[in-house]
């Protein structure tokens, strides 16, 4: 079945708001996706030939006909698409002919076309250009789509046929990609419980229900806890250090919640951005403690018993499915493959991270001492004094930089230029392709030989009806089986300039454009037969590799010089300024890595618990886990504490948080290969495209990387590019 979509949440390190969204799965937040069974499966009578999704698009590249699609067209098309796919699946399962690769796996690859095209368009607009009609449709569709996936995965007749083919696969004389399809799809079914006895299926279902209820409860408690954990004061002096705009926003926040004074809401992470500005130490400490204890106050929002039970249930689910721990179950289809591999990787980074963060702490303590403040650095002081260190060391003025980064120039003379130099592709703007919003631009991507390769949409400006952050996804997946070429889009939230003014962006934003375009290339270069294995449909600990890798070219001299030109004069950026950008890039690399490592270790330790382990005391567990992994550094708490770690308890990231750091290792290690081999060249680009970017999930990802790199990835390049210190 098409669509092993990978869901990547907002990235944690350096890569801000950089995600790739699943393609043919509804994008939903949290546990809504698990609310199974509310949908009856009825096809709305309101779906017929007048619906623009009824037939495949006749536009170039099968682009969505946004000129004809109305908000009310999506829901009936998606519902009809589910019904149609279920009918197709039923037919495959009931086929009187003996099961073959073609009449099972390939037939499933061909199924669900209507659902795919409607859902792909819906996912884009409901995130990037939403409104109440689309939001309502999304809420209604979430349980239906979850039930739809289950109906396919738990179809016993279908699974029996897949199993028959799976068992004889070695004798079938299939090509490598077809064999890979069999293994990936079969594993996905087994992963979902298709292999269990009726009694075990029943037990799994019960555990699933309890775990989904607990995940929901966790998310709700956390939401309430974050609200309750806000900082409220009537004393303006307590907020010294905030600018007028921040104070006005805090006053407005208080007002909108019908209270007086100033209100600072709590963010998801342990550290709170506002701590960088607040000069009153007592205020910083209060805000930090509000954050740290938000879900541990013994009140209705305390999540400790919820997560302890969740961890236990997950271990039991894994045991039913034949795995020693939840982490082992999750890691099975990832590049790392086992929790041990992920743990070993993290253990190797810990001494490097701590050596770096301790040296940063020294610099910060020196500033505190120079001001005769008379205290030892605490977590709530880090950002405030760190900011002073940053200013003293680099003092990078955004206003000075931005005139060199005009959006269109960055895109065409930077992002597109780098891709042209590496891969020979070129871009032609298409004004004739309909878009869902007039601001969206469309480019046809031409291959080095001039042939049509893909369609690329970009929608870069912030709007009120657009979700935050930046992401990539697709309207159409590449597949030679279906005869489709990729239609890819990038979304961002760049500040929109006043009419007639140029869009001048920060270097962070420049990096985001390169990052999302890196995902774009992974989609555009896809050259696979089966849509399920195409492009970005890879493991979570691989999918952020091509995107982060592409970020490296933003700072590469011949690329940078080509686009970083003053928007008025065309003058290149002064060398001193370029040097400042380079140096400041790694500021606080030790802190960033250490807090993420600590969170990733907590995640992995919780999910490595075996089914027989007793119910844990979360505080004690957390303390011991951090001590065991040598990450118990008082001034550097984990990015998320166990009791408010939304990613792992409610957002599908359990035993997966390490992937953020793992893919950093991959992309730095890959860039090192380029540097060792002459860096930017067509030969290097073409080789990377042939061996990695075009391959999707058609081969074991570790083997794919090994074949391209010539050895397994190492952390050496990551240390070098990120300015991390060797272990002491």
Backbone CA torsion sign across 147, 151, 153, 154 = positive
Q: Which of 724, 394, 355, 416 is nearest to 582 (CA)?
A: 394
Q: Which is nearer to Zn ion, 73 or 544 (CB)?
A: 544
Q: Which is nearer to Zn ion, 540 or 641 (CB)?
A: 540
In the complex, minimum distance from the CB of residue 653 to Zn ion, in angstroms, rounded to a whole number: 14
In the complex, minimum distance from the CB of residue 518 to Zn ion, in angstroms, rounded to a whole number: 7
Binding-site ranges for Zn ion (CB under 5 A) = 18, 544, 547
Q: Which is nearer to Zn ion, 642 or 651 (CB)?
A: 651
In the complex, minimum distance from the CB of residue 500 to Zn ion, in angstroms, rounded to a whole number: 33
Q: Which of 507, 243, 513, 274 is nearest to 397 (CA)?
A: 507
In the complex, minimum distance from the CB of residue 481 to Zn ion, in angstroms, rounded to a whole number: 27
In the complex, minimum distance from the CB of residue 191 to Zn ion, in angstroms, rounded to a whole number: 24
Q: Walk across the sheet containing 487-494 and list its strands.
A: 18-20, 470-476, 487-494, 452-461, 441-446, 426-429
In the complex, minimum distance from the CB of residue 472 to Zn ion, in angstroms, rounded to a whole number: 7
Residue 504 near residue 398 (C-beta atoms within 8 A): no
Q: Which is nearer to Zn ion, 109 or 544 (CB)?
A: 544
Residue 379 near residue 483 (C-beta atoms within 8 A): no
**DSSP string of 474-542, one letter each residue:** EEE--BTTTTB--EEEEEEEEPPPPTTS--B--HHHHHHHHHHHHHHHHHHT---S-GGGSTT-S-HHH
Q: Beta strands of 388-496 (E only): which ranges?
A: 426-429, 441-446, 452-461, 470-476, 487-494
Report how far residue 594's alpha carbon sits from residue 348's, in angstroms, rounded to the nearest whole number: 12
**Which position among 185, 360, 516, 544 bears the catalytic label?**
516
Q: Which is nearer to Zn ion, 479 or 550 (CB)?
A: 550
Tokens of 160: 């029996």
Report how far residue 577's alpha carbon sits from residue 397's, in angstroms, rounded to the nearest whole number: 9
- Write phi, then psi, for 284 (nearest 5 degrees): -60, -45
In the complex, minimum distance from the CB of residue 666 to Zn ion, in angstroms, rounded to a whole number: 13
Q: Which is nearer to Zn ion, 16 or 309 (CB)?
A: 16
In the complex, minimum distance from the CB of residue 517 to Zn ion, in angstroms, rounded to a whole number: 10
In the complex, minimum distance from the CB of residue 695 to Zn ion, in angstroms, rounded to a whole number: 18
Report how far residue 25's alpha carbon sits from residue 31's, in angstroms, rounded to the nearest whole number: 14
Within a 10 A sphere around the Cβ of 204, how many other Cβ atoms? Answer: 18
**DSSP string of 38-90, one letter each residue:** ----PPPTT-STTSTTSS---SGGG---TTT--GGGHHHHHHHHHHHHHHHHH
Residue 427 near residue 413 (C-beta atoms within 8 A): no
618-653 residues labelled b (16+ CB within 10 A) or e (exposed): beebbeebbeebebbbebbbbbbbbbbbbbbbbbbb
Coil, strand or helix at 262: strand
Q: Give the relative orientation of helices 339-370 and 659-676 as an angle to the nearest 10 degrees.
A: 90
**Consecutive H or E run containing 152:** helix 132-153
In the complex, minimum distance from the CB of residue 118 to Zn ion, in angstroms, rounded to a whole number: 25
Coil, strand or helix at 456: strand
List all residues 6 or more positions away from 386 whose beta carbon is below 8 Å from its beta carbon.
276, 360, 364, 588, 591
Q: Which is nearer to Zn ion, 18 or 121 (CB)?
A: 18
Q: Which is nearer to Zn ion, 459 or 544 (CB)?
A: 544
Backbone CA torsion sign across 535, 541, 542, 547 = positive
Report how far residue 364's alpha carbon sits from residue 386's, in angstroms, rounded to the nearest whole number: 6
Q: Which is nearer to Zn ion, 104 or 667 (CB)?
A: 667
Q: Which is nearer to Zn ion, 528 or 547 (CB)?
A: 547
Report how far residue 725's alpha carbon sits from residue 728's, in angstroms, rounded to the nearest whole number: 8
In the complex, minimum distance from the CB of residue 519 to Zn ion, in angstroms, rounded to a whole number: 6
How many helices (H) does the chain have, and how many strands (E)?
A: 27, 8
In the complex, minimum distance from the CB of residue 549 to Zn ion, in angstroms, rounded to a whole number: 11
**DSSP string of 593-654, one letter each residue:** HHHHHHHHHHHHHHHT--TTPPPP-HHHHHHHHHHHTT---TTS--SS-GGG-HHHHHSS-T
Q: Which of 563, 591, 539 is nearest to 363 (CA)?
A: 591
Q: Which is nearer to Zn ion, 17 or 54 (CB)?
A: 17
Q: Which is nearer to Zn ion, 18 or 146 (CB)?
A: 18
Diameter of the chain measured on Cα atoms: 84
Catalytic status, residue 516: yes
Angle ∠(127,114,97) on CA atoms, nearest 5: 140
- Write phi, then psi, for 19 (nearest 5 degrees): -140, 160
Q: Which is nearer to Zn ion, 18 or 715 (CB)?
A: 18
In this structure, the dihedral spanned by the alpha carbons of residues 466, 469, 470 and 472, taken in order and rounded to 10 degrees, is -70
In the complex, minimum distance from the CB of residue 691 to Zn ion, in angstroms, rounded to a whole number: 21
Residue 261 near residue 231 (C-beta atoms within 8 A): no
List all residues 6 or more positions away from 560 whose beta carbon is below 8 Å from its beta carbon.
414, 554, 573, 578
Active-site residue numbers?
Answer: 516
């Amino acid at each position: 079945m098409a669509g092993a979509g990978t869901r990547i949440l907002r990235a944690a390190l350096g890569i801000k708001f950089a995600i790739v969204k699943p393609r043919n799965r509804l994008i939903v937040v949290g546990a809504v996706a698990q609310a199974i069974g509310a949908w009856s499966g009825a096809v709305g009578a309101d779906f017929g030939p007048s619906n623009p999704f009824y037939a495949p698009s006749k536009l170039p590249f099968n682009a969505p006909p946004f000129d004809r699609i109305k908000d009310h067209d999506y829901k009936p098309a998606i519902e009809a698409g589910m019904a149609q796919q279920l009918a197709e699946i039923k037919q495959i399962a009931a086929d009187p002919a003996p099961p073959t690769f073609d009449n099972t796996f390939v037939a499933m690859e061909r199924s669900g076309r209507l659902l795919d095209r409607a859902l792909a368009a819906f996912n884009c607009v409901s995130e990037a250009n939403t409104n109440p009609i689309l939001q309502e449709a999304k809420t209604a569709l979430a349980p239906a789509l979850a039930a739809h996936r289950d109906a396919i995965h738990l179809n016993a007749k279908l699974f029996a046929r897949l199993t028959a083919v799976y068992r004889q696969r070695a004798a079938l004389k299939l090509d490598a990609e077809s064999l890979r399809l069999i293994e990936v799809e079969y594993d996905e079914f087994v992963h979902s419980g298709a292999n269990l006895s009726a009694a075990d299926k029943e037990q799994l279902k019960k555990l699933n229900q309890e775990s989904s209820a607990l995940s929901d409860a966790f998310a709700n408690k956390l939401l309430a806890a974050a609200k309750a954990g806000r900082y409220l004061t009537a004393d303006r002096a307590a907020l010294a250090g905030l600018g007028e705009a921040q104070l006005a926003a805090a006053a407005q926040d208080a007002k909108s919640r019908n209270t007086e004074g100033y209100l600072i809401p709590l963010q998801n992470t342990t550290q709170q951005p506002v701590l960088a500005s607040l000069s009153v130490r007592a205020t910083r400490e209060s805000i930090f403690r509000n954050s740290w204890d938000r879900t541990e106050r013994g009140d209705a929002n305390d999540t400790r018993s919820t997560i302890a039970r969740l961890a236990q249930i997950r271990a039991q689910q894994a045991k039913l499915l034949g795995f020693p721990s939840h982490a082992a179950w999750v890691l099975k289809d990832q590049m790392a493959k086992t929790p041990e591999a992920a743990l070993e990787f993290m253990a190797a980074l810990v001494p490097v991270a701590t050596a770096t963060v301790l040296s940063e702490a020294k610099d910060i303590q020196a500033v505190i001492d120079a001001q005769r403040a008379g205290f030892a650095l605490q977590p709530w002081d880090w950002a405030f004094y760190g900011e002073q260190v940053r200013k003293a060391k680099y003092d990078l003025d955004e206003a000075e930089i931005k005139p060199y980064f005009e959006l269109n120039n960055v895109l065409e003379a930077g992002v597109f230029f780098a891709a042209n130099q590496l891969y020979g592709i070129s871009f032609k703007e298409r004004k004739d392709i309909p878009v869902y919003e007039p601001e969206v631009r469309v480019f046809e991507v031409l291959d080095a030989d001039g042939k049509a390769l893909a369609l690329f949409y970009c929608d870069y400006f912030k709007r009120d009806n657009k979700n935050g952050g930046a992401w990539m996804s697709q309207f159409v997946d590449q597949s030679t089986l279906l005869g489709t070429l990729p239609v890819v889009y990038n979304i961002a939230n760049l500040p929109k300039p006043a009419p007639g003014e140029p869009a001048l962006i920060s270097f962070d934003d420049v990096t985001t454009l390169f990052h999302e375009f890196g995902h774009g290339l992974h989609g555009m270069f896809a050259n696979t037969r089966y849509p399920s294995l195409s492009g970005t449909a890879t493991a979570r600990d691989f999918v952020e590799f091509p995107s982060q890798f592409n970020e490296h070219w933003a700072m590469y001299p011949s690329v940078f010089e080509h686009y970083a030109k003053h928007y008025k004069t065309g003058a290149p950026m002064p060398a001193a300024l370029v040097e400042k950008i380079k140096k400041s890039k790694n500021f606080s690399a030790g802190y960033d890595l250490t807090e993420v490592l600590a969170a990733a270790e907590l995640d992995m330790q919780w999910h490595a618990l075996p089914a027989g382990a007793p119910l844990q005391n979360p505080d004690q567990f957390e303390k011991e886990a951090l001590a065991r992994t040598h990450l118990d550094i008082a001034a550097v708490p984990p990015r998320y504490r166990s009791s408010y770690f939304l990613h792992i308890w409610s957002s599908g990231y359990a035993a997966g948080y390490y992937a953020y750091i793992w893919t950093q290792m991959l992309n730095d290690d890959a860039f090192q290969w380029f540097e060792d081999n002459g860096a930017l060249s067509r030969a290097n680009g073409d080789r990377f495209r042939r061996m990695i970017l075009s391959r999707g999930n058609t081969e074991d990802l570790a083997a794919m990387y090994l074949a391209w790199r010539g050895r397994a990835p190492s952390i050496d390049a990551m240390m070098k590019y990120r300015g991390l210190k060797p272990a002491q």
